[in-house]
């Protein structure tokens, strides 16, 4: 793959019919996933699982980029090829998670701040040499009786903007991810209010840090009801409130919005994305950067067993097909029966 300008990389990451696979689970997070299928979380098992995803036939028809964890970017497949090269050979951009996780925010109980800015410039330069073409940083914004506070939102917005500026300095497209969590009993209107406030703060900081909006992507949550809310909003309400929120906060110069699934089921995340893309046109591409909503079926089909590799790849590609259809507003729940 030839060298490209950052704005061209950003645009190709949200090309029609395609989106991003988030395969950047930390060692601790992937262990939790493996625990559900009673599989030991060894480096070999982690490599084998990622390899079956990255080598699934037809992946490049639906996936434009893959976010990797540090370990995965450095790993090689069973045939000796580096994972980054396997992706690049298929026209898929390798990306890298560069934050070091969310930790308690000082003097603000219940709020979190993402760490990892120290030494980031040097790490970004190394990741660029290893083949990464974009990066991701996640800020975590919980909703609770005491959160989020203006302090918590501003601290995370500032960190996101500093990260994004360093990425562009290094020649990497930053994916900016302010995630308002689904955890809680809040209703969809509370999610809307917090998301709108957070996005306004993020874009204010991006402007102050001189981030070029045409060379970045936004990875936000959808506007949804909290998991514990007794009244769950349907896809039509999720779509209308999500789009309206972005119309109030996201500049048209941002090439695309790549949604996180945020704990939604595979089908629910797909249905919501489809509803938004049926309510077009929009000034930005509305795509996906799903983790669990692209991998759950594949993980269950694999079950940690080599002999299940083909079945797992089939499940993964089917999920990619469904999500790709939703990205273009062509999905229907009837298509799920073809799995």
82: β partners: 76
Whole-angstrom distance, CA of residue 52 vs CA of residue 30: 15
- DSSP string covering 175-210: EEEEEE---SS--HHHHHHHHHHHHHHHHHHHHHTT
Q: Clarify whether 177 is annotated catalytic.
A: yes
**Given the residues 51, 177, 179, 285, the one annotated as active site:** 177
As given in the structure block, the two tokens for residue 122 are: 């040097």
Q: Spell out the residues 6+ positions from residue 99 whose beta carbon is closer than 8 angstroms to its own.
A: 114, 115, 116, 136, 137, 138, 163
In this structure, the number of other CB atoms found within 10 A of the CB of residue 222 comes to: 27
Whole-angstrom distance, CA of residue 171 vs CA of residue 5: 8
- Residue 205 · residue 159 · CB < 8 Å: no
**Overall residue count recorded for the chain in this entry:** 339
- Residue 19 · residue 286 · CB < 8 Å: no
- Residue 67 · residue 21 · CB < 8 Å: yes
**Given the residues 219, 241, 266, 275, the one annotated as active site:** 219
Q: Please choose, from the candidates 160, 179, 262, 263, the residue with its C-alpha nearest in 3D space to the C-alpha of residue 220.
A: 179
> Which ranges of the chain would DSSP assign to H, the alpha helix?
6-13, 27-35, 43-54, 70-74, 83-89, 120-129, 150-170, 188-208, 235-249, 266-278, 292-302, 309-327
Give, as one character, the DSSP assignment of residue 274.
Answer: H
Whole-angstrom distance, CA of residue 12 vs CA of residue 215: 11
Give, as one character, the DSSP assignment of residue 283.
Answer: S
Q: Clarify whether 231 is annotated catalytic.
A: no
Q: Please choose, from the candidates 316, 220, 218, 230, the residue with its C-alpha nearest in 3D space to the C-alpha of residue 272.
A: 220
Catalytically active residues are 177, 219
């Amino acid at each position: 793959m030839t060298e490209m300008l950052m704005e061209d990389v950003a645009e190709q990451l949200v090309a029609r019919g395609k989106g991003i696979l988030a395969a950047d689970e930390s060692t601790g997070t992937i262990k939790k996933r493996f625990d559900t299928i009673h599989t030991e979380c060894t480096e070999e098992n982690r490599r084998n699982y990622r390899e079956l995803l990255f080598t699934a036939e037809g992946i490049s028809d639906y996936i434009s980029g893959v976010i990797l964890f540090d370990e995965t970017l450095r790993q090689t497949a069973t045939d000796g090829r580096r994972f980054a090269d396997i992706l690049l050979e298929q026209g898929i951009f390798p990306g890298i998670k560069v934050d070091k996780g969310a930790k308690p925010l000082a003097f603000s109980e219940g709020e979190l701040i993402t760490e990892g800015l120290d030494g980031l410039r040097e790490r970004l330069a190394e990741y660029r040499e290893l083949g990464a073409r974009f990066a991701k940083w996640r800020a975590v914004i919980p909703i609770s009786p005491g959160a989020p506070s203006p302090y918590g939102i501003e601290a995370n917005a500032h960190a996101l903007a500093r990260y994004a500026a360093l990425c562009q300095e290094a020649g990497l497209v930053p994916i900016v991810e302010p995630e308002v969590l689904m955890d809680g009993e809040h209703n969809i209107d509370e999610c809307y209010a917090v998301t709108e406030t957070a996005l306004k703060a993020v874009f204010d900081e991006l402007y102050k840090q001189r981030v070029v909006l045409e060379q970045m992507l936004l990875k936000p949550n959808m506007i949804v009801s909290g998991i514990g809310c007794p009244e769950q909003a349907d896809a039509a309400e999720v779509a209308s409130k999500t789009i309206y929120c972005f119309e109030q906060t996201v500049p048209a110069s941002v090439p695309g919005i790549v949604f996180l699934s945020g704990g939604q089921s595979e089908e629910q995340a797909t249905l919501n994305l489809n509803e938004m893309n049926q309510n077009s046109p929009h000034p930005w591409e509305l795509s996906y950067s799903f983790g669990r909503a692209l991998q759950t079926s594949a993980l269950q089909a694999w079950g940690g067993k080599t002999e299940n590799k083909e079945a797992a790849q089939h499940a993964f590609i089917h999920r990619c097909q469904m999500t790709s259809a939703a990205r273009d507003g062509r999905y229907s729940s009837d298509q799920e029966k073809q799995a």
